[in-house]
Amino acid sequence: MGRIKSALEIALERTESVKSDKGSIGQHEAKIRGKRLANQYLTEGIGLEAEIKKAPKDEQESLKQGIFDVLSGMIKLPVEEEDLKRLDTVGKGLSLLVNNNRFAGIYKQLREALSRYLQETAQYEEAITRQYEPKLRQKEEELSRRVGRQIRLDPFQDPEFVAFYNQHMNALKDKYQAAIDQVREEAAALFGK
């Protein structure tokens, strides 16, 4: 009669051939360190080039990959002027990693486009509000008649206005998001070379 094996014995037999790969663990840790460096670069302004050179040669590519992952993820639509400064910092860091004049030119064009995006956003908001103003005034008059006193509505309290606003603003965002996606893809392609 055969011997009954415990679950531990079976697990040990199955994992017997599995060996830890210290090299891949080191590369993974370097990538994580790269992500931390990217965050320090963005928040504290540390010098990426010097930090990369300090790393052991066999870990530099993983370190760069971690930095690249964080920086490329930071290319986003700006909400305010201050975001453009952050985008400039991101672009400098990516240009260091990609090290390609074509990318620097593409990123500069994106930066200019995102500056226009902020201007267009303000213009869109004003135009949308102005276009919806007569309908909002009509709703205010109707409410004032029902209640018996003057009522003022904030346009964003009106679900119809919010839907109208979101529809138009999302169309604008989609247009610029396509440019961001294209720059991210280009950066990834040039970084991977």
The pLDDT tens digits of the residues spanning 117-171 come to: 999 999 999 999 899 899 989 988 988 888 888 888 888 888 888 998 999 999 9
Angle between helices 81-98 and 101-147 (to 10 degrees): 160
Q: Is 9's pLDDT higher than 80?
A: no
**What phi, psi does 93 have (nearest 5°)?**
-65, -45
Rounded-to-integer distance, Cα 193 and Cα 189, Å: 7
Average pLDDT score over the chain: 87
pLDDT at 85 (0 to 100): 93
75-97: per-residue pLDDT in tens? 999 999 999 999 999 999 999 99
25-72: per-residue pLDDT in tens? 778 888 999 999 999 999 998 988 888 898 888 888 998 999 999 999
Q: What confidence tier does 5 reach under pLDDT thresholds 50, 70, 90?
A: low
User: Which has more pLDDT, 72 or 5?
Assistant: 72
Rounded-to-integer distance, Cα 170 and Cα 101, Å: 32
Cβ-contact 114, 102 below 8 angstroms: no
134-148: per-residue pLDDT in tens? 998 998 898 888 888
pLDDT at 1 (0 to 100): 47
- In eight-state DSSP terms, residue 155 is G
Sign, Cα dihedral of 107, 112, 115, 119 = negative
Which H or E run includes 190? helix 159-192
Q: What confidence tier does 14 reach under pLDDT thresholds 50, 70, 90?
A: confident
What is the rounded end-to-end Cα distance, in angstroms, of the chain? Answer: 61
Taking the model in full, what pTM does it have? 0.75
Transcribe 92-153 into DSSP letters.
HHHHHHH--HHHHHHHHHHHHHHHHHHHHHHHHHHHHHHHHHHHHHHHHHHHHHHHTS----
